[in-house]
Amino acid sequence: MKQLFKTGKIKREVFSISYKPGNTFYSKILFGGVNLQALAKSGHTPTYHKAKPSHSSWTLKLEQFGTADAEALVQKYSADNLTFSDFVFDTGVDGLHVNYNHKTLVEFHLAASTGVSWDLSKPETPKKCTASHWQKFPDIYFKFDGHRYWISRDLVFNRRGVWCTTNLFTTGSPHWAAGLTWFQ
């Protein structure tokens, strides 16, 4: 910014970013956030730069996952046979993608904990969950490098009235993946 001001390409030091998700045409870094031609000195044309979406990820080896509710510290858990399962954290994922090879096992644990049958291929299908059901809905945990990390049921499930959906899903990919924005 200071360089543009010092070179005389803009009249004052101002900066903003305009971003419209899903629309790269309107995603631009703007100096001033206003009509740049009004800020530019005569004879200079403002330069627009399209904002590129940032994609980053990292991978951990998943050792175990499980569910837990208020009645038991660990109610259901997988065997320690997931050591070679990659768990990817990625900015491009919304929710938690379950490794397709573990879909049946996860659905089993969710059904045993909630009393509701889930199909992770159709996570948007609402399931009835009254207040008494909701009390049984579990938190989930993942174990990486010998440490357990807990995820609240409020991130795992969405509740609206007496209906619930889940943020767990699978698309047939053999990887676990958590969206960074969802996870944070």
Is residue 173 a contact partner of residue 97, using CB atoms and an 8 Å limit?
A: yes
Q: What is the CATH number of the domain that holds 126?
A: 2.40.70.10
Does the CA dihedral 150-155-160-162 come out positive or negative?
negative
Per-residue pLDDT at 89: 75
65 and 32 share one domain? no
Number of independent structural domains in the chain:
2
Per-residue pLDDT at 52: 43
31 and 85 share one domain? no
Q: Could you tell me the residue range of the domain that residue 15 belongs to?
A: 2-50
Per-residue pLDDT at 51: 43
Give the list of residues 6+ apart from residue 85 with CB closer than 8 angstroms, or none. Answer: 61, 62, 99, 102, 175, 176
Whether the pTM exceeds 0.75: the reply is no
18 and 61 share one domain? no
26 and 71 share one domain? no
43 and 71 share one domain? no
Per-residue pLDDT at 37: 53
Low-confidence spans in the chain with pLDDT less than 50: 1, 18, 27-35, 49-54, 72-74, 80-81, 83
Q: Could you report the per-residue pLDDT of 59-71, keeping only the tens digit for each?
A: 677 777 777 765 5
Tokens 């009509």 belong to 35
